[in-house]
């Protein structure tokens, strides 16, 4: 089997296995350096970003909110992890020339046409629903899907089954019919 793809990408098995090693190293590093084991995750950062942004317009509202208070609005380890994901993807895609400016993904265009506005609305509204769900479930495909599964958490098995189960049904409803 080819570990390197023609376009400069790596086999997903290889890249995934290396991410497994990174997850282990990161759990050890956070335990040693920060005194508390932190696992890879992403969705809590969106709460903190929302809190930081909302604070600039309505600080009293953020201060009085029970959920924001429980999540501690600050630029922490995970916040920088999420920022790092952007940088890492930028470096990787620029160095292997797979970086591509794209306003509407092809699969979306086949179904909904080339309108950036429609794509923006879909991404934005889908994002609202997904994040409400991720915060309710206390995790996303990183926190539950990767970190929870590695620890054999019961909640991770249930969450991942629902992420994909409902995702498969909705994807078939939304994208199953091709626009000609």
73-102 residues in contact with other proteins (CB under 8 A) are 75-93, 96, 98-102
CB 156 within 8 A of CB 148: yes
Tell me if residue 127 falls in helix, strand or coil.
Answer: helix
**For residues 164 and 152, what is the distance between their CA atoms, to the nearest angstrom?**
18
Residue 23 binding other proteins, by CB under 8 A: yes
Residue 34 binding other proteins, by CB under 8 A: yes
The binder of other proteins chosen from 72, 159, 178, 179 (CB under 8 A): 159
Residue 164 token pair? 């994909």
Residue 172 binding other proteins, by CB under 8 A: yes
Sign of the Cα torsion 51, 52, 58, 64 reads positive
Closer residue to other proteins in complex, CB, 94/180? 94
CB 40 within 8 A of CB 143: yes
Residue 30 binding other proteins, by CB under 8 A: yes
Q: What are phi and psi of 96, to 5 degrees?
A: -105, 15
| Count of residues interacting with other proteins (CB under 8 A) | 132
User: Considering the complex, what minimum distance in angstroms separates the CB of residue 40 from other proteins?
Assistant: 7
Residue 122 binding other proteins, by CB under 8 A: yes
């Amino acid at each position: 089997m080819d570990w390197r793809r023609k376009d400069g990408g790596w086999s997903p098995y290889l890249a995934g296995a290396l991410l497994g090693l990174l997850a282990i190293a990161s759990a050890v590093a956070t335990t040693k350096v920060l005194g508390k084991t932190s696992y890879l995750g992403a969705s809590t950062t969106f709460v903190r970003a929302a809190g930081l942004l909302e604070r600039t317009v309505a600080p009293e509202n953020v201060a009085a909110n029970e959920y924001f208070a429980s999540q501690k609005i600050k630029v922490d380890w995970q916040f920088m992890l999420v920022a790092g994901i952007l940088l890492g993807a930028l470096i990787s895609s620029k160095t292997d020339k797979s970086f591509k400016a794209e306003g509407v993904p092809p699969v979306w265009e086949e179904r909904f046409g080339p309108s950036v506005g429609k794509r923006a609305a879909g991404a934005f509204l889908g994002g609202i629903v997904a994040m409400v769900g991720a915060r309710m479930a206390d995790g996303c495909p990183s926190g539950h899907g990767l970190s929870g599964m590695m620890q054999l958490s019961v909640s991770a098995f249930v969450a991942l089954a629902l992420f994909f189960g409902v995702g498969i049904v909705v994807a078939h409803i939304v994208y199953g019919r091709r626009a000609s």
